[in-house]
Structure 1
Amino acid sequence: MAFTDPLRSVPDFDAGDAEWLHLLVGDWQLLADLGFGDLLLCFPRAVVAAAESPTGQPIPEEGSEFLVLAHARPTTGPTAYQKDMVGELVGGAAASTLRRAWVDHRIERASLSEWSSVASRSVTLVPLVRNGRTIAVVSLTADPQRDRLPSRMELVYRESAADLLRMANQGTWPDFAVRSDSRRGAPRVGDGMLRLNASGAVEFCSPNGLSTFRRLGLQGDLTGQNLLRVARELPLNAPGVDETLAPVLAGTMPWRAELSGVAASATLRAIPLRQGAERTGALLLCRDVTELRRRDLQLVSKDATIREIHHRVKNNLQTVSALLRLQSRRMHSEEGRNGLRHAMRRVSSIARVHESLSHEISEDVDFDELIRHQVKLAVETASEGQQVQTEVHGSFGRLPSKSATSVALVVNELVANAVEHGLRDRDGTVELAVTHRENEVSESGDACRVVEITIHDDGRGMGDAVIEESGVSAYRPPSEGEGLGMQIVRTLVASELRGSIRWQPGAEGGTSAVITARFPQQPLSGRR
């Protein structure tokens, strides 16, 4: 359930109001850290509709309790609430102060006597006013620290929190124009903060913020300097400052950007400060991400190396397959040619798996496109002068990369076996069908998904006998008339796929080979 569901249930509020609250809660850790206090998002249990309200706007019913929809704790100071407040009800005098702030649309300071049932600290109540009506109330509960003289940094942090609360009260923060970039490496208050005036000059720079710019090559101090001009003089990897970075350094747009120097990198985030329609300055958060980017580069290099290895293995296997093809042409024995042809088909099957792995590096691989080509290749290689059609039903989706080779080899052998023995010198059809069963439990007690692969031919059939093998019995020596291919299939199904194989007569003739394979439970992305 979304925390904005109570809001959505009131007809006077729309989806835009709920989305704005989601933006606020997604970013209000910044506000909690700057204000050194806990944030509660409160909404009344009972609301008087705008049509029935004396103010013409939705207001809480007299005496209504308020429900806490969300809670954030500061990382810059102690929490005011030892328990999670989400789902708690605020009543009595505290609810009356919340209602007063809601109706008046003004930021209010609750007295300790009014808020004592909730917390024993300084409480600021901020009605969130959007389109002329309050949609929720935020409370900031902080320790006023009257027993000591606050530092310059603490004063600037609290002033910045007050500015953001004022903007939230006016409905101008958070800004819908903020980009939804990846949060990896996103700067936080403790990483470093600068406060800029309307012209882009630095009014305040935290020690961590100054350290970040020093690593980028800054000489001297930042206070009083124009940040955009300073950045243009830094030894950056790219000369100058591009047009997307300039608005962030000037604090004019609520965007994120990155400065990459010769020896260091830093992410930046600008939060413009406004008084009504006028921009009065900006907050700029910065974070040294040098080590993070170095690790990212190592991962990219590692991924590229792995892809290149798969690509080279694929090329080598294709070379082996070509050599086997050349050798088979020089063979005078039909049995020798058949053996080399089977070996060539198996090597080609493994090469196709490595080709797929060379295109993407992940824990699983999209198996569908690969197996469609593999089925056609196996049929073409095994059939001599026959017209054999192939049909594929269902989808494998994504399979674990470590199991892809085993599945490809098993399907390759069974399709070839269906053509060579099931159809044997006649035309026909080979069908591959895939079904899934989710959330089963393996013998080891782990959750797994079961994939059932059926390969059916409409050939001469195998009689009424049903043969099923799994576990230890699959490792038996080959029986009379059984080739290397079936021994490979039995071994791979039992060992690598943790499953079983069953041969049975088809419902309308022919033979069906049914493989039951078990894979670790995972999302079925890519399945059609």
Structure 2
Amino acid sequence: MAFTDPLRSIKDFDAGDAEWLHLLVGDWQLVADLGFADLLLSFPNRVISAEDSPTGSAIPAPDSDFTVLAHARPTTGPTVFHKDMVGEMIPAPDAAPLRSAWVDQRIERFKLTATEAQPAESILVVPLVRNQRTIAVVSMTLDQHFGRPMSQMKTVYRETAEDLLRMANEGTWPDFAVRSDSRRGAPRVGDGMMRLDAHGRVAFCSPNGLSTFRRLGHEGDMAGANLVSIARSLDVRGNGVDETIAPVLAGTMPWRGELEAGNVSVTLRAIPLRRGTSRTGALLLCRDVTELRRRDLQLVSKDATIREIHHRVKNNLQTVSALLRLQSRRMTSEEAKHGLQQAMRRVSSIARVHESLSHDISEDVDFDELIRHQVKLAVETASSTQTVRTEVHGEFGRLPSKCATSMALVINEIAANAVQHGLKDRNGTVSLEVERLPDIFNEDGDVRRVIEVTVSDDGWGMGDTVIEESGASAFRQAGDGEGLGMQIVRTLVASELEGKIRWQPREGGGTCVVIQAKFSV
């Protein structure tokens, strides 16, 4: 259940209000860290609708309890609440400040008297007002050391946290228009924090923030400095200080950016601070992500190398297949020609798996697209004079590359065998059907996916004989009437696919080959 469900159930609030709360909760860890405080998002259990309210907007009922919908703890200091407060009820007498702040739409501060079991706490109650309507209440509970003298850093941090909450009260933060950045390495409060004034000069810089800019190559103090000017004095790589990064350094736009100087990469995030319509300054977070970017580059390089290897293997296998095809055309013996054609088909089957892997950084293969072409190719290669249709039903999904190669070879051999022996120079249909069976959960927690593949033909059939093989019985020499293909099938099913294979009559005539295979997910 989403924490905004109580809000959605009341007609006075719309989907935009719920989405705005999701944005707030998605970013309010920043406020908890700056304020060294716990944050609770609360909502009344009983609401008087706007049409019945004396204020003209939805308000809590006078005797309404409040329920905590979300809870954030600071990572920069101790928590006040040692249990998860989500779902906890705040009784009506204790919730009086929450109701007062909701109705008046003003921030309220009050203190709880210390007891033997509970130290003194200072609580800031912030009504979240959007489109002139209160939609929830945030309370910031400060730790028991709040009354003691604080360092300059703690003072600036806490003032900044309260500025963000004041903007939330005014409905100006978080901003729907802020563009998101999916790259890893978003800066956090503990990584480095600066407070800029209305002119974009540094009013305060945390020790970690100073260290970050020292790594970029800046020497000297940061207080009173202009970050845009500092960045232009550095050996900035790429496009330098362009129109994208400059507003972030100046704190004028709520954007994220990345600054690279020398061999150092730093991510930056700016949040303009406003009072009403006037900009009062900005919060700037910075983080050294040099090692993170180096690892990203290694991963990209590794992925590109793996794709290139698969591509070259595919090319080499296609070359081998082409050579086998040329050699088969020169054979005068039908047996030799047939053997080379079978080898060509098997090599082509493996090549198609590597071709699929060369287009995707994943180690899994989209097997459905691959096998449709493979079955058609196997049937066309095996059929010389007859016309054979192919049908594929069901979906394999994505298979691990190791299993995909084995499964492709097995299906290739069985489809070809169905044409050569099942149909025996007559027209017909070869069908492939796949069904996913219930997963198997091992004692060690490993999950094994199970699929059942049925390859059938409407040919001459095999009588009433049913043959099933798995495990050790599959590892044997080819018997009478069996070729290399069936030996390959039995071995791959038993070893690589950890399954079993069964030959049985098909209802209506013909033969069915049923394969059960297991693989890790």
**Greater shift after overlay, 447-456 or 287-296?**
447-456
**Contact 2:32–2:74 (Cα < 8 Å) also in 1:** yes
Partner of 1:526: none
Could you state the TM-score of these two structures normalised by the residue count of structure 1?
A: 0.95
Cα deviation digits, residues 12-55 of structure 1 (max 9, x gap): 11111111111111000100011011001111111111111111
* Number of residue pairs the alignment of both structures matches: 521
- The structural deviation recorded for 1:442 is 6.0
Q: How does 1:235-250 map to 2 (within 5 A)?
A: 235-250=235-250
Q: How does 1:302-321 map to 2 (within 5 A)?
A: 302-321=302-321
**Greater shift after overlay, 308-317 or 166-175?**
308-317
1:512 aligns with 2:485: no
Q: How does 1:434-453 map to 2 (within 5 A)?
A: 434-441=434-441, 446-453=446-453
| Other structure's SS at 1:493 match | helix
**Greater shift after overlay, 10-19 or 363-372?**
363-372
Partner of 2:277: 277
Partner of 1:69: 69
The separation in 1 between residues aligned to 2:209 and 2:446, in whole angstroms, is 48
**Contact 1:325–1:340 (Cα < 8 Å) also in 2:** yes
- The structural deviation recorded for 1:147 is 6.5
Q: How does 1:14-25 map to 2 (within 5 A)?
A: 14-25=14-25
| Other structure's SS at 2:478 match | coil
**Greater shift after overlay, 123-132 or 214-223?**
214-223
In structure 2, relative to structure 1, the CA distance for the partners of 1:431 and 1:443 (3 Å cut) is farther
Q: How does 1:107-122 map to 2 (within 5 A)?
A: 107-113=107-113, 120-122=120-122
Structure 1 counterpart of 2:319, which letter?
A: T
Partner of 2:227: 227
1:334 aligns with 2:334: yes
**Greater shift after overlay, 61-70 or 193-202?**
193-202
Cα deviation digits, residues 196-229 of structure 1 (max 9, x gap): 1222221111111111112112222222122122
The separation in 2 between residues aligned to 1:442 and 1:47, in whole angstroms, is 50
Structure 1 counterpart of 2:142, which letter?
A: A
**Contact 2:111–2:120 (Cα < 8 Å) also in 1:** no
Partner of 2:299: 299
Cα deviation digits, residues 302-324 of structure 1 (max 9, x gap): 11111111111112212222222
**Contact 2:432–2:453 (Cα < 8 Å) also in 1:** yes
Partner of 1:130: 130
The separation in 2 between residues aligned to 1:105 and 1:115, in whole angstroms, is 30
Partner of 1:524: none
The separation in 2 between residues aligned to 1:28 and 1:341, in whole angstroms, is 65
| Other structure's SS at 1:23 match | helix
Structure 2 counterpart of 1:340, which letter?
A: L
Partner of 2:427: 427
The separation in 1 between residues aligned to 2:283 and 2:180, in whole angstroms, is 18
The separation in 1 between residues aligned to 2:187 and 2:287, in whole angstroms, is 5
Cα deviation digits, residues 251-285 of structure 1 (max 9, x gap): 12211111122210011111111111222211111
1:454 aligns with 2:451: no
Cα deviation digits, residues 294-352 of structure 1 (max 9, x gap): 00001111111111111111122122222222322333322122111111111111111
The separation in 2 between residues aligned to 1:223 and 1:113, in whole angstroms, is 39
In structure 2, relative to structure 1, the CA distance for the partners of 1:25 and 1:116 (3 Å cut) is farther
Partner of 1:213: 213
The separation in 2 between residues aligned to 1:207 and 1:298, in whole angstroms, is 30
Structure 2 counterpart of 1:46, which letter?
A: R
Cα deviation digits, residues 115-156 of structure 1 (max 9, x gap): 999874111111111111111111111136366532221111
**Greater shift after overlay, 289-298 or 278-287?**
278-287
Structure 2 counterpart of 1:478, which letter?
A: A
Structure 1 counterpart of 2:193, which letter?
A: M
1:260 aligns with 2:263: no
- The structural deviation recorded for 1:168 is 0.8
- The structural deviation recorded for 1:93 is 3.5
In structure 2, relative to structure 1, the CA distance for the partners of 1:197 and 1:115 (3 Å cut) is farther
- The structural deviation recorded for 1:443 is 9.3
The separation in 1 between residues aligned to 2:92 and 2:380, in whole angstroms, is 81
Structure 2 counterpart of 1:137, which letter?
A: V
| Other structure's SS at 2:296 match | helix
**Contact 1:80–1:119 (Cα < 8 Å) also in 2:** no
Q: Which runs of 5+ in 2 are unaligned?
A: none
The separation in 1 between residues aligned to 2:113 and 2:43, in whole angstroms, is 21
Structure 2 counterpart of 1:495, which letter?
A: S
The separation in 2 between residues aligned to 1:118 and 1:95, in whole angstroms, is 18
- The structural deviation recorded for 1:445 is 7.1
Structure 2 counterpart of 1:235, which letter?
A: D
Superposed CA RMSD in Å reads 2.0
Q: How does 1:443-522 map to 2 (within 5 A)?
A: 446-521=446-521
**Contact 1:76–1:190 (Cα < 8 Å) also in 2:** yes
| Other structure's SS at 1:243 match | coil
**Greater shift after overlay, 92-101 or 341-350?**
92-101
**Contact 1:440–1:450 (Cα < 8 Å) also in 2:** yes
The separation in 2 between residues aligned to 1:76 and 1:446, in whole angstroms, is 38
| Other structure's SS at 1:94 match | coil
- The structural deviation recorded for 1:482 is 0.5
| Other structure's SS at 1:219 match | coil
- The structural deviation recorded for 1:463 is 1.5
**Contact 1:63–1:95 (Cα < 8 Å) also in 2:** no
Cα deviation digits, residues 98-129 of structure 1 (max 9, x gap): 11111111111123149999874111111111
Partner of 1:3: 3
Could you state the TM-score of these two structures normalised by the residue count of structure 2?
A: 0.96
In structure 2, relative to structure 1, the CA distance for the partners of 1:444 and 1:201 (3 Å cut) is closer
Partner of 1:381: 381
**Contact 2:113–2:119 (Cα < 8 Å) also in 1:** no
Partner of 1:202: 202
In structure 2, relative to structure 1, the CA distance for the partners of 1:182 and 1:116 (3 Å cut) is farther
In structure 2, relative to structure 1, the CA distance for the partners of 1:21 and 1:116 (3 Å cut) is farther
| Other structure's SS at 1:253 match | coil
The separation in 1 between residues aligned to 2:243 and 2:320, in whole angstroms, is 53
The separation in 1 between residues aligned to 2:308 and 2:232, in whole angstroms, is 39
In structure 2, relative to structure 1, the CA distance for the partners of 1:74 and 1:442 (3 Å cut) is closer
| Other structure's SS at 2:94 match | helix
Partner of 1:26: 26
Structure 2 counterpart of 1:416, which letter?
A: A
**Greater shift after overlay, 131-140 or 465-474?**
465-474
The separation in 2 between residues aligned to 1:397 and 1:420, in whole angstroms, is 29
Structure 2 counterpart of 1:374, which letter?
A: Q
The separation in 2 between residues aligned to 1:150 and 1:444, in whole angstroms, is 51
The separation in 1 between residues aligned to 2:443 and 2:34, in whole angstroms, is 53
Q: How does 1:398-437 map to 2 (within 5 A)?
A: 398-437=398-437
Q: Equivalent pairs: percent with the same residue? A: 72
The separation in 2 between residues aligned to 1:247 and 1:402, in whole angstroms, is 50
Structure 2 counterpart of 1:59, which letter?
A: I
**Contact 1:66–1:90 (Cα < 8 Å) also in 2:** yes
Q: Which runs of 5+ in 1 are unaligned?
A: 522-528
Q: How does 1:84-99 map to 2 (within 5 A)?
A: 84-99=84-99
